[in-house]
Amino acid sequence: MITRMAFVAQPTRNMAAAKRFYGEVLGLKADFAAPHGKWAEFVTPDGATVALDAFSPEISDKARAYLSLESDDIVADVARLKAAGATVARDTWTNRDTAGGEICHMAVLKDPDDNSVVLHQIVPGRQGH
């Protein structure tokens, strides 16, 4: 039986740059680094693990998964991350339902290996949240 998410892995060809991005730019807490330097883990404020994987970066050449991080102020976070040197691939936009109601706000960053990192802000009061 599956009980929870173990981690989200982001492939990297440059571990030092990836560790700087996830630790210093995004501000995630470093949790583990393998002594051989090909695996590192960071933890989100709610305890989810983001793993940086230098064992198998070829995965990113075939299909890209992406990491989505929840924000409580996406506009301020995008401005802060731009100022810290993050590449913004798509600035903040609003997803709407078929009636035009707001669902969420999103923006897309790129890490040093061109992996997408989505910032997501759920609309307050949205059904189911």
The token pair that represents 68 in the structure block = 């989505």
Rg, Å, the chain Cα set: 16
User: What is the span of the domain harbouring residue 53?
Assistant: 8-122
3, part of any domain: no
For residue 13, the domain's CATH number is 3.10.180.10
Q: Per-residue pLDDT tens for 7-62?
A: 888 888 899 999 999 999 999 999 998 888 888 999 999 999 999 988 765 544 55
127, part of any domain: no
The pair phi, psi for residue 71, each rounded to 5°, is -120, 145
The token pair that represents 107 in the structure block = 């923006």
Q: Per-residue pLDDT tens for 82-107?
A: 999 999 999 999 988 888 888 889 89
Predicted confidence at residue 53, as pLDDT, reads 87
The token pair that represents 113 in the structure block = 């290996």
Angstrom distance (rounded) from CA 8 to CA 11: 10
Coil, helix or strand at residue 31: strand
Q: Stretch 60-66: mean pLDDT, rounded?
A: 58
1, part of any domain: no
115, part of any domain: yes
Percentage, residues of the chain above pLDDT 90: 49
